[in-house]
Amino acid sequence: MLRKRGLTFSKPVLFVVLAVLLTAGAALARSIYLNGVKVDGLTNQVFKGCQVQIDDQGNVYITAPGYQVKTVGQDNSNSAMSGPATKTRPTTMTKRYWLVTQVKGDAQYDVDVYINSKWIKKIRSTDEQIVYEITKYLNPGQNKVHFSATKNLSAGRKSFSKTVFLRIIIGEGNMGGDNVMIDNPIIDKRWTAAETNMASDDFDLYTR
């Protein structure tokens, strides 16, 4: 039995919009500030779960909880701090992480799951519901999850419906008896019978 609360989707749109704002800020803004620290010249960074504000003079203010600015080659007491913003990496994990599937009909997809470039499991549309703990495959902090999905048409096309699907959810959860509760869904991906293409999807999974 599986119970879950809420849904959380990957945020590619946020990343694209943020990248555009940073690019525009470098060209037009007087200064860029990250959590109140001036970071003019900062490049090649992506911030998740952040808020961006541009004042009437074109200055860009980024509020990104969980990020800090470190000074390279200077004393950290220097108020004019510069350098890349890095997210604090935890040394231990206090949460448990689970992979859970939901199947409706036969979407005819086989999905290989990789975590940090290591193959973990193959999931098929014909499988019963899978509830699988993946904590042992994860590192504290940043992780990469990759789905490689292949349409299996060896028995012919069984459905063309978008309501027939294979769904994979990865998130923080806990086990009580025979039940798993997903408290914080982080990755939510589905493949439908209406699709026929092979698909590769990459997600960031930050553990805590």
| pLDDT score, position 12 | 38
> How many CB atoms lie under 10 A from the CB of residue 84?
13
| pLDDT score, position 20 | 42
φ, ψ (nearest 5 deg) of residue 105:
70, -160
Q: Which residues contact 202 (CB under 8 A, 6 or more apart)?
A: 144, 145, 146, 147
| pLDDT score, position 77 | 37
Q: Which amino acid is at 137?
A: Y
Closest CA to 94 of 168, 169, 3, 174: 174
* Whole-Å CA distances, 57 to 30, 32, 34, 173: 7, 12, 17, 45
DSSP-derived secondary structure letter, 137: G
Over its C-alpha atoms, the chain yields an Rg (Å, rounded) of 21
Residues of the chain with pLDDT under 50: 2-22, 25-29, 73-85
| pLDDT score, position 31 | 80
